[in-house]
Amino acid sequence: MRNITLTRPDDWHVHLRDDEYLRRTITDSARYFGRAIVMPNLVPAIDNVQAATEYHQRIVANIPDGSAFKPLMTLYITQNTRPETIIEASESGLIHAFKLYPAGATTNSEAGIEAIESLYPIFETMQKANMPLCVHGEVTTETVDIYDREAVFIESYLKPVCAAFPALKVILEHITTSEAVDFVLKANDQVAATITAHHLLFNRNHMLVGGLKPLYYCLPVLKRNIHQNALIKAATSGNSKFFLGTDSAPHPKSAKENACGCAAGSYTAHAAIELYAEVFDKVNALDKLEGFSSFFGADFYGLPRNPDRITLSQESWSGPDRLQFGNDWLIPIRNGETITWKVKP
């Protein structure tokens, strides 16, 4: 049986949700991840240090005994965010990044930004405070096709922001296109990207062929296979600008399989490192998995790498059909299907 031992990985982008859902999400993430960058898109948005402190306490209360899992908090940038919030956040030691959602781009983005240009004083303060900016990179313009929204965002907004603030740390989250890969490759060392397991494993055919499948509906949406291949190439290249961020985003079954509109988000936290291992193994790049999952994100965020290790073995197991999620069910990616790597307990 083949084994691979890695420095304990981290998840640089996850949705833990709140209250009765925390038990599920944290149990799964804490199974093998050392740390996770926790997204602030609750309702109301986590947009100030006080709210993040309280949310952090609720998360910590759900961490299983004996786990060293550390949630790394972020704040949501709204049109009301002031430079003082950045300074307070940076002095708090609790906040590791700010998240920019264009208003209407995704789940719980209503409090997001209508006019990115108006944020330049915020970016200026973030740059000075060395506070990273996580970006959901999609325009919401009605006339722009949903498959083009990431590429248009990069040209219209991200390139100008990165040019104006060359020392600002920017993480283009959950990239989905070859345009995003090219942008990150050409940008300076302050610009990086996270890549999800589901965007590496799937393309839009998985979502659309043989019937519309809510399981795969996430934002930015899955693109065509040439983009999937560009992401695989980037993730497995050993380039430190690309690192692991699951964007594991649970929604109750009733919200996903809903005739009035499917909630955007795919859940992978129950098997994330195993799913990434499959992708890397398939292209004979398992030797590149540790950098992607355990080194590059920590280095980019200026945090120490985890001190301990985990081992995965090539061992088939059946992904759960469904998971308990509060009073509802959660259908995870690979439900009822074989997963070929497994973290040793």
Q: Verify binding: residue 25, ligand DOR, rule CB under 6 A.
A: no
Q: Verify binding: residue 197, ligand DOR, rule CB under 6 A.
A: no
Between 146 and 167, whose beta carbon lies closer to ligand DOR?
146
User: Residue 6 to residues 12, 222, 236, 291, 341: CA-CA distances in angstroms?
Assistant: 17, 28, 15, 9, 13
Residues that bind Zn ion (CB under 5 A): 247
AA identity, residue 334: R
Question: Is residue 11 annotated as part of the catalytic site, yes or no?
Answer: no
Binding region for ligand DOR (CB under 6 A) out of 104-112, 116-124, 186-194, 313-321: 104-112
Query: Which residue minimizes CB distance to Zn ion?
Result: 247
**Which of ligand DOR, Zn ion, none has residue 27 at its interface (CB below 5 to 8 Å by kind)?**
none
Instruction: Quote the CA–CA distance of 64 and 263 in Å, as a whole number.
Output: 28
Between 6 and 16, whose beta carbon lies closer to ligand DOR?
16
Between 108 and 240, whose beta carbon lies closer to ligand DOR?
108
Q: Which residue in the block uniquely carries the two structure tokens 């043989």?
A: 210
- The tokens describing 322, both together, are 């469904």
- Closest-CA residue to 9 (of 237, 277, 330): 277
Between 106 and 194, whose beta carbon lies closer to ligand DOR?
106
Instruction: Quote the CA–CA distance of 224 and 247 in Å, as a whole number.
Output: 19
- List the interface residues with ligand DOR, window 218-237 (CB under 6 A): 218-219
Three-state secondary structure call for residue 6: strand
Three-state secondary structure call for residue 293: helix
Q: Verify binding: residue 175, ligand DOR, rule CB under 6 A.
A: no
- The tokens describing 140, both together, are 């919401």
Instruction: Quote the CA–CA distance of 13 and 284 in Å, as a whole number.
Output: 25
Size of the site for ligand DOR (CB under 6 A): 12
Between 100 and 218, whose beta carbon lies closer to ligand DOR?
218
Binding region for ligand DOR (CB under 6 A) out of 4-12, 106-114, 155-163, 271-279: 106-114
Q: Verify binding: residue 140, ligand DOR, rule CB under 6 A.
A: no
Torsion on CA atoms 44, 47, 51, 57, rounded to nearest 10 = 100
CB of 92 to Zn ion, least distance (A): 22
Q: Which of 247, 308, 321, 328 is catalytic?
A: 247
Look at phi and psi of residue 146 and say left if phi exceeds 0, alpha if psi is from -120 to 50, else beta. alpha
Cα angle 321, 324, 325; round to 5? 120
Q: Verify binding: residue 177, ligand DOR, rule CB under 6 A.
A: no
Binding residues vs ligand DOR (CB under 6 A) = 15, 41, 106-108, 136, 218-219, 247, 249, 264-265
* Catalytic residue IDs: 247
